[in-house]
Structure 1
């Protein structure tokens, strides 16, 4: 039963992530934790699946990458992700409030609350015309630094990266492909740091489950590529904005705490 749940979540999350640019790591980590009951193994397993899935998506979409945007964004994100990954133990999440809902206990943490509010704000800027905001080319470096740092620190780099990239009004193929190459750059930095600090032993313990999740994630990416031509850019933009709001609320309220 665990394998079935893992495959469904990995496939569905990968399919959604192909379009919106975030969600795979957030959804996969708690599933791995439920199966292994070990957070180090859950984080390591998720990192492997996320990294290899991004390599595969890069191969699928590399012809559509806008390198003028991807290079400054990605190059700024790499050292920021390294710094964030190194500071995980320093930035411990301060708990502001603990509450119960449906017999489950949730914690509202300061870091996730602030991060969630930022995501909701970016999404509202995209949805509400009066709040429209255009980013300059210099914003690419800022976006890379911010998304890379948060990616290394908490693993939630995709949502902020998408929030910045969506403002450049790229064609859907270019938007998705450019996001993929930036995500891959961050993955290289933070995954290397994680494994240097925690070692590869954790991955060796759960390699079978990781392999199942990876296969499902790759299938989700292929399916996403097949559906790409049928999706209009305006629909994609609205879907991404709504996903950012839902993700931000869930993160702020403690539903996605690891």
Structure 2
């Protein structure tokens, strides 16, 4: 947990640095000016990388020794701080340690909360220092969407296989990643 927390700070600081860089390119599409931003390009490419690893059959065969858990913590924490996608790396390492299903879930939840608590102050300072005022409507809609997604997932999860869930989530993440990379999102 400690390597993940420390690396999450570094990832969040990197995100803050990337967010202040100028656009790499600008173009027009259907009357709208779009910009390819370094931060969105970076996060979009990371998402594509995570999806490729998650859907790769070769990835399922990887095995990690418990001695590598601190490395996994650093990797997952950094990418968690940078893009919020630490779960892919954390799961990759934890799944290979022989934890029971209950231990895996409990460990993953605790580590996710700790990493999130580590990166939120960094995001908050960066946002409130240079960002626009908080759009409470957007926050409420995002929270309701997250709740609705969790509620729906709890109902559908019993009917889906892990593989079909991976493909659905992977496909949606690919769409988001391409939107970010191209400046559409």
**TM superposition score category, shorter chain reference:** 0.5 to 0.7
Displacement of 1:195 after TM fit? 4.1
Correspondent of 2:154 among 225, 229, 234: 225
Count of matched residue pairs = 177
SS where residue 242 of structure 1 aligns?
helix
Change (3 A) 1:179 1:224: farther
For the 8 Å contact 1:124–1:131, the answer to whether it is kept is: no
TM-score, length-scaled by structure 2: 0.66
For the 8 Å contact 1:143–1:161, the answer to whether it is kept is: no
For the 8 Å contact 2:8–2:77, the answer to whether it is kept is: yes
Correspondent of 2:91 among 148, 165, 170: 165
Using the alignment, how far apart are the partners of 1:108 and 1:190 within structure 2?
25
Structure 1: which 5+ residue stretches go unaligned? 1-73
Matches within 5 A, 1:51-70: none
Using the alignment, how far apart are the partners of 1:130 and 1:185 within structure 2?
30
Using the alignment, how far apart are the partners of 2:138 and 2:39 within structure 1?
30
Deviations 1:160-182 (A, max 9, x none): 42255257389998877655443
Mapped pair 1:134 → 2:62: yes
Structure 2: which 5+ residue stretches go unaligned? none
Mapped pair 1:84 → 2:11: yes
For the 8 Å contact 1:115–1:248, the answer to whether it is kept is: yes
Using the alignment, how far apart are the partners of 1:246 and 1:94 within structure 2?
24
Matches within 5 A, 1:112-131: 112-129=40-57
Using the alignment, how far apart are the partners of 2:117 and 2:27 within structure 1?
37
Displacement of 1:100 after TM fit? 1.7
Using the alignment, how far apart are the partners of 1:176 and 1:191 within structure 2?
22
SS where residue 62 of structure 2 aligns?
coil
Using the alignment, how far apart are the partners of 2:112 and 2:181 within structure 1?
23
Using the alignment, how far apart are the partners of 2:137 and 2:38 within structure 1?
36
Matches within 5 A, 1:168-207: 168=95, 179-195=108-124
Change (3 A) 1:108 1:174: farther
For the 8 Å contact 2:16–2:123, the answer to whether it is kept is: no
| More displaced stretch, 245-254 vs 132-141 | 132-141
Using the alignment, how far apart are the partners of 1:253 and 1:223 within structure 2?
30
Change (3 A) 1:241 1:171: farther
Instruction: Give the 4+ runs in structure 1 shifted more than 6 A.
Output: 169-177
SS where residue 93 of structure 1 aligns?
coil
SS where residue 17 of structure 2 aligns?
coil
